[in-house]
Amino acid sequence: MTRRTPFLAANWKLHLGPAESARLASDIRVRTADLRDVTIAIFPTALSITAVVDALRGSSIGVGPQEIEAAPIGAWTGANSATLCRAAGCEFALVGHSERRQHYGETSQRCNQRLFAAFAAGLVPIYCVGETLGERRAGRVEQVVGDQLSAGLDRLESDQIASLTLAYEPVWAIGTGETATPEQAQQVHAFIRSWLAARIGPTLAGQVRIQYGGSVKPSNAAEILSQPDVDGALVGGASLDAANFAAIAMQAISP
């Protein structure tokens, strides 16, 4: 089995101003300083990006925006540019988070444009996919996730797909306290990897990191992260506490 470096991402959503973000980032930096063979990235509010970049300067922890516009510059009031985020010191970018899809009408087709923008700017994107509770109950998980992959990854080169990260986040488990069972998470992650294998071949598919996102916390992280196709986590609420986030990161690298 391909050895993939675990990837832990902290999505702070609409929390914390620049000073608070810098303090939390510094605390996470200290608590994870001795961890090896793990990738860590923080996604603060847009207003706090530069403060977090400064707090993490010289560390191995990356920073990224929670959303990006497809256009590099222009008349896009309120948007984040991948190009400008890169200039601010970002290395990653979230694309297609379920809350963006739900509250802002984000579509997989528009996400596709944002993925191209991320690559053009030199950012590594995390592309998020996942089903609602109604879609799961209707037995449409693979259809929904497959459609999101098909539209979102359309026209990307195979090496681009191999270099990005995917995040499976069941919408019904985000911010609800509900979590997919380890078996449910593995089942969808395995489907995603099989979809990738059909698209770019098994060797490249084996390189793609697939995170799980959905109420991950220290008490459930170990079981989820031990699944063979789960390569890390996109952590929401638990990442607002440095000790909790560090504990999850430690579990990601435990044998």
Catalytic residues: 97, 169
Q: Which H or E element spans position 84?
A: helix 82-87
Could you give the C-alpha distances from 210 to 57, 121, 164, in angstroms and in order?
27, 22, 9
DSSP H helices in 91-175: 98-104, 108-121, 133-137, 141-152, 158-163
Q: Among 2, 29, 8, 1, which residue's Cα sits nearest to residue 254?
A: 8
Q: Among 19, 82, 27, 6, which residue's Cα sits nearest to residue 51?
A: 19
Q: Among 96, 150, 160, which residue's Cα sits nearest to residue 128?
A: 96
Beta-carbon contacts of 210 under 8 Å, excluding residues fewer than 6 positions away, are 165, 166, 167, 168, 189, 192, 193, 229, 230, 231
Beta-carbon contacts of 108 under 8 Å, excluding residues fewer than 6 positions away, are 96, 147, 148, 150, 151, 152
Please report where in the chains the tokens 């697939």 appear, as a residue.
210
Tokens of 81: 């540019």
137/226 Cα distance (integer angstroms): 26
Any idea what the Cα angle at residue 221 is, between residues 21 and 126, rounded to 5°?
Answer: 55
